C-alpha cells in the first residue's frame, strides 16, 4: 500500500511511502478498539466520589422516641437513613476504575484504529516540518493547506517538536503527539490522522513488537 507524501503547504512532493499491511492494512477489530478506549477512559476517572453513611453523619446516637406507644414506626437515632439529614444507605466510596488489558489486545486495537483511518481515506502523510518559534497563526495555515482546519486532527511526529506542540496547544480542534504516545483513543477521537513520514517507521516498529 502506497501513499503520496505532502508538504506542509498541502502540495505533493513527488515522493511515496510504502505502508506495512501488517499495521496499516489489517481488518479493524471493533471489539478490541472498544476495550482499549474503555480502559483509557476508565483510567482517567478520579473515583473520588463519596457520600456519608450512617456512621459518618453528625448527630446524636440517642434514641429519639420510645419504642412503643407512639402510634408510629420504631426509630433509633436521628442518623437513620429514613430521616432527612440521615446517612445514605450503601453510598458511593472512593475507588479505582482502572483495569488491565492484554498487550496484544492493545496492539491490535491501535492497528485496527489506524487501518480504519486508512480505509476511510483519513490518513495523510506529510514531510517533517517545524517552526522557528511557537506561532498559532502558522499552525492554522498548515491546517488550512492540508484541508483539515474544519475537522478534528491529530498530528504524529517521530520526535518531540516543541514549537509545533506549543503552536497547537491553544487550538481546540487539533492535537500533536509523538509516535510513542499514540493511543487508540487519540486516533479514534480525530477525524483526520496526519503522520509525519519519519514517524511511520517508529509506528510500525512499536506495533510489530
Q: For residues 116 and 200, state if they share a domain.
A: yes
Same structural domain for residues 19 and 108? yes
Check whether residue 23 and residue 122 sit in a common domain.
yes
pLDDT in tens, 167-181: 998 888 899 999 999
pLDDT in tens, 87-146: 999 999 999 999 999 999 999 999 999 999 999 999 999 999 999 999 999 999 999 999
Residue in 118, 126, 148, 121 with CA at minimum distance from that of residue 12: 126
**Same-domain check for residues 121 and 85:** no
Please classify residue 84 by burial: count the beta carbons closer than 10 Å to its beta carbon, then call 0-12 exposed, 13-18 middle and 19+ buried. exposed
Predicted local confidence at residue 141, as pLDDT: 92
Question: What is the per-residue pLDDT for 173?
Answer: 86
Q: How many domains does the chain have?
A: 2
Q: What is the CATH number of the domain that holds 181?
A: 3.40.1370.10
Query: Are 133 and 92 in a shared domain?
Result: no
Regarding whether 150 and 135 lie in a shared domain, the answer is yes
Confidence band (pLDDT; 50, 70, 90) for 9? Answer: confident
What's the confidence (pLDDT) of residue 160? 86
Q: Do residue 195 and residue 105 come from a single domain? A: yes
Are 104 and 178 found together in one domain? yes
Domain with 148, as residue range(s), is 2-30+100-207
Q: What is the pLDDT of residue 125?
A: 93
Per-residue HEC secondary structure of the chain comes to: CEEEEECCCCCEEEEEEECCHHHHCCCCCHHHHHHHHHHHHHHHCCCCCCCCCCCCCCCCCCCCCCCCCCCCCCCCCCCCCCCCCCCCCCCCCCCCCCCCCCHHHHHHHHHHHHHHHHHHCCEEEECCCCCCCCCHHHHHHHHHHCCCCCCCEEEEECCCCHHHHHHHCCCCCEEEEEHHHCCHHHHHHCCEEEEEHHHHHHHHHHHCC
Report the candidate in 155, 149, 147 with the shortest Cα–Cα distance to residue 128: 155
Looking at the fold, whether 118 and 151 belong to one and the same domain comes out as yes
pLDDT in tens, 21-69: 899 999 999 999 999 999 999 999 999 999 999 999 999 999 999 999 9
Does the pLDDT at position 14 exceed 90?
A: no
Give the whole-angstrom CA distance, residue 162 versus residue 106.
28
Same domain? For 67 and 92 the reply is yes
In angstroms, what is the C-alpha Rg of the chain?
27
pTM of full prediction above 0.85: no
Q: What pLDDT is recorded for position 13? A: 86
Q: Which residue, 119, 135, 140, is CA-closest to 8?
A: 140
Q: What is the pLDDT of residues 69-80, one digit of tens each?
A: 999 999 999 999
Are both 82 and 167 inside the same structural domain?
no
Whether residue 111 sits in one domain with residue 81? no
- Look at residue 8 and tell me whether its pLDDT is greater than 80: yes
**Burial of 132 (C-beta count, 10 Å sphere; 0-12/13-18/19+):** exposed
Residue 41 belongs to a domain: no
Residue 209 has pLDDT above 80, yes or no: no
Amino acid at each position: 500500500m502506497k501513499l503520496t507524501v505532502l508538504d506542509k503547504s498541502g502540495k505533493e512532493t513527488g515522493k511515496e511511502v510504502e505502508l506495512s499491511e501488517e499495521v496499516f492494512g489489517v481488518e479493524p477489530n471493533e471489539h478490541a478498539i472498544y476495550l482499549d478506549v474503555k480502559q483509557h477512559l476508565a483510567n482517567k476517572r478520579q473515583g473520588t466520589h463519596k457520600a456519608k453513611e450512617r456512621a459518618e453523619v453528625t448527630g446524636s446516637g440517642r434514641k429519639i422516641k420510645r419504642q412503643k406507644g407512639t402510634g408510629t414506626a420504631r426509630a433509633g437515632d436521628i442518623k437513620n437513613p429514613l430521616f432527612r439529614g440521615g446517612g445514605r444507605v450503601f453510598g458511593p466510596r472512593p475507588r479505582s476504575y482502572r483495569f488491565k488489558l492484554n498487550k496484544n489486545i492493545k496492539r491490535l486495537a491501535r492497528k485496527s484504529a489506524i487501518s480504519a483511518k486508512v480505509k476511510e481515506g483519513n490518513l495523510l502523510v506529510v514531510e517533517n516540518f517545524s517552526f522557528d518559534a511557537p506561532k498559532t497563526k502558522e499552525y492554522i495555515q498548515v491546517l488550512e493547506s492540508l484541508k483539515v482546519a474544519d475537522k478534528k486532527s491529530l498530528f504524529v511526529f517521530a520526535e518531540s517538536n516543541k514549537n509545533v506542540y506549543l503552536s497547537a496547544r491553544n487550538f481546540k480542534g487539533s492535537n500533536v503527539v509523538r509516535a510513542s504516545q499514540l493511543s487508540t483513543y487519540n486516533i479514534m477521537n480525530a477525524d483526520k490522522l496526519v503522520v509525519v513520514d519519519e514517524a511511520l517507521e517508529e509506528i510500525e516498529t512499536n506495533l510489530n513488537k
